[in-house]
């Protein structure tokens, strides 16, 4: 029975987090069409992105704290239903101010997803299996964007950009309702109603946030998530405007990033369990060095045609999503444990989201002044800086590792 419950939690939380993307990936897909039809400038589009990411970052810190106190089921379920309503409101709007308002509020509710789901998984899976399990589970944030992008592209091409928001909103609301009805919190749920355990949650959270490894992971994730969001939010736009692809082709080609990420998360999660137990910083540091090299390669290969472009971007996804899932998911669970997993996951992801706020200004500013090649070179430098922070984590984990008996 316990095994079936664990599988049920895995499946429902995987579906939940994958579905969150249905209420956020439609804007990058529809961005160029909105620009043409409504006459909104590139700077205006960047403002909408930045507002979303600012509220998303705030929501990560708040959601991490809240998730360890109210539980995953209510936070995820109500967050998804609210996000669906705001997604539909965005589709019904036509001005930059309303886009910024609804997408910004949506960002705050979207932030309920990661800390809530990471906490739910931490209650059911232990440290020895966590790398491999979370590697498979983390495919939700590659498959989710992939399917969400494909659906938004289909609706954009066949029903117009507004339906790229209305249709996904219905799905997100239905999944949120399913979470409210069926998600099981785990054996810690009953205990959290008792005052001594509430005090334990607070103590565990404070202790986790005093750990310098948590802060170093947050620093590395600052750069890594900035890279991911630059690609997520702007690659379809770059392919369409910079390389002349048709809108639907650009949207479909951009999914190569997620395809590569699926294999990267699984492979690196397994490697971290099998060869680097207790030293996940080592494999994450090496992976981010490979990420910097793959970004340099993509900048050179992207103009050579559709297939070279897709293959090079798949390599970028492979090298990025592996360490991404380790840092924001597995390491957060390791460091926070069942009592403080949401707090640590929210803190690390919040630090990353602070970096991601800069994606609009970075891409718009650098591409307009220096060209798209300079954008990829900037992302390469960010990956190298993230690898330095992860190298420090590796060094600390090696120093703290128990000596052999």
Query: Residue 107: pLDDT band by 50, 70, 90 thresholds?
Result: very high
Neighbour-count burial of 305, counting CB atoms closer than 10 A to its CB (0-12 exposed, 13-18 middle, 19+ buried): exposed
Task: Please tell me the predicted confidence (pLDDT) of residue 363.
Answer: 86
> Quick check: 358 and 226 in contact, CB under 8 A?
yes
pLDDT tens digits, 243-259: 888 877 887 888 888 88
Q: Is 126 left (phi over 0), alpha (psi -120 to 50) or beta?
A: beta
Number of domains in the chain: 1
Task: Please tell me the predicted confidence (pLDDT) of residue 195.
Answer: 43
Domain contains 135: yes
Domain contains 232: yes
User: Is residue 237 scored above 90 in pLDDT?
Assistant: no
Q: What is the CATH number of the domain that holds 116?
A: 1.20.1250.20
> Quick check: 389 and 280 in contact, CB under 8 A?
no
User: Is residue 288 scored above 60 in pLDDT?
Assistant: yes
Domain contains 66: yes
Domain contains 281: yes
Cα–Cα dist 29/42, whole Å: 14
Structure-block tokens of residue 397: 């984990």
User: Is residue 167 scored above 90 in pLDDT?
Assistant: yes
pTM of the model: 0.76
Q: Which residue has the higher pLDDT, 15 or 31?
A: 15
What integer is the mean pLDDT of 285-298?
A: 91
Q: Which residue has the higher pLDDT, 329 or 383?
A: 383
Task: Please tell me the predicted confidence (pLDDT) of residue 190.
Answer: 39
Range of the domain at 233: 2-400
By mean pLDDT, which of 101-110, 115-124, 394-403 is the weakest?
Answer: 394-403
**What average pLDDT is seen over the chain?**
83
Domain contains 191: yes
pLDDT tens digits, 119-162: 888 777 776 666 778 878 888 887 888 899 889 989 998 988 99
pLDDT tens digits, 72-99: 888 899 999 999 999 999 999 988 999 9
Domain contains 405: no
pLDDT tens digits, 352-398: 888 878 877 888 888 888 888 899 999 999 999 998 888 887 777 66
């Amino acid at each position: 029975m316990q095994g079936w419950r664990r599988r049920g939690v895995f499946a429902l939380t995987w579906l939940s987090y994958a579905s969150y993307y249905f209420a956020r990936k439609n804007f990058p897909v529809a961005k160029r069409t909105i620009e043409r039809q409504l006459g909104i400038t590139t700077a205006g589009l960047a403002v909408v992105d930045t507002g979303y990411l600012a509220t998303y970052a705030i929501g990560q810190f708040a959601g991490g704290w809240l998730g360890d106190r109210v539980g995953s089921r209510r936070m995820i379920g109500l967050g998804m239903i609210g996000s669906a309503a705001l997604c539909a409101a965005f589709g019904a709007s036509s001005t930059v101010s309303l886009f910024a308002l609804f997408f910004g509020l949506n960002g705050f509710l979207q932030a309920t997803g990661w800390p809530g789901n990471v906490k739910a998984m931490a209650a059911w899976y232990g440290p020895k299996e966590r790398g491999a399990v979370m590697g498979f589970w983390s495919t939700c944030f590659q498959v989710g964007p992939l399917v969400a992008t494909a659906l938004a592209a289909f609706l954009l091409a066949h029903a117009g950009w507004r339906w790229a928001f209305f249709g996904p909103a219905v799905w997100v609301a239905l999944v949120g309702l399913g979470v409210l009805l069926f998600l099981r919190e785990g054996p810690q749920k009953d205990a959290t109603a008792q005052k001594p355990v509430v005090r334990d949650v607070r103590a565990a959270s404070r202790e986790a946030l005093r750990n310098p490894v948590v802060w170093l992971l947050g620093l590395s994730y600052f750069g890594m998530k900035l890279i991911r969001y630059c690609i997520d939010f702007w690659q379809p736009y770059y392919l369409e405007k910079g390389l002349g692809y048709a809108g639907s082709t650009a949207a479909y080609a951009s999914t190569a990033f997620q395809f590569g990420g699926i294999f990267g998360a699984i492979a690196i999660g397994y490697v971290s369990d099998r060869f680097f137990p207790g030293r996940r910083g080592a494999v994450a540091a090496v992976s981010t060095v490979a990420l910097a090299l793959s970004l340099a390669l993509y900048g050179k290969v992207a103009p050579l045609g559709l297939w070279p472009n897709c293959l090079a971007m798949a390599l970028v996804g492979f090298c990025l999503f592996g360490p991404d899932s380790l840092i924001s998911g597995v390491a957060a669970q390791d460091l926070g444990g069942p009592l403080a997993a949401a707090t640590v996951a929210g803190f690390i992801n919040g630090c990353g989201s602070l970096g991601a706020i800069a994606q609009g200004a970075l891409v718009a500013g650098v591409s307009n002044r220096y060209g798209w090649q300079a954008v990829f070179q900037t992302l390469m430098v960010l990956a190298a800086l993230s690898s330095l922070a992860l190298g420090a984590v590796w060094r600390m984990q090696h120093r703290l590792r128990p000596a052999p008996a």
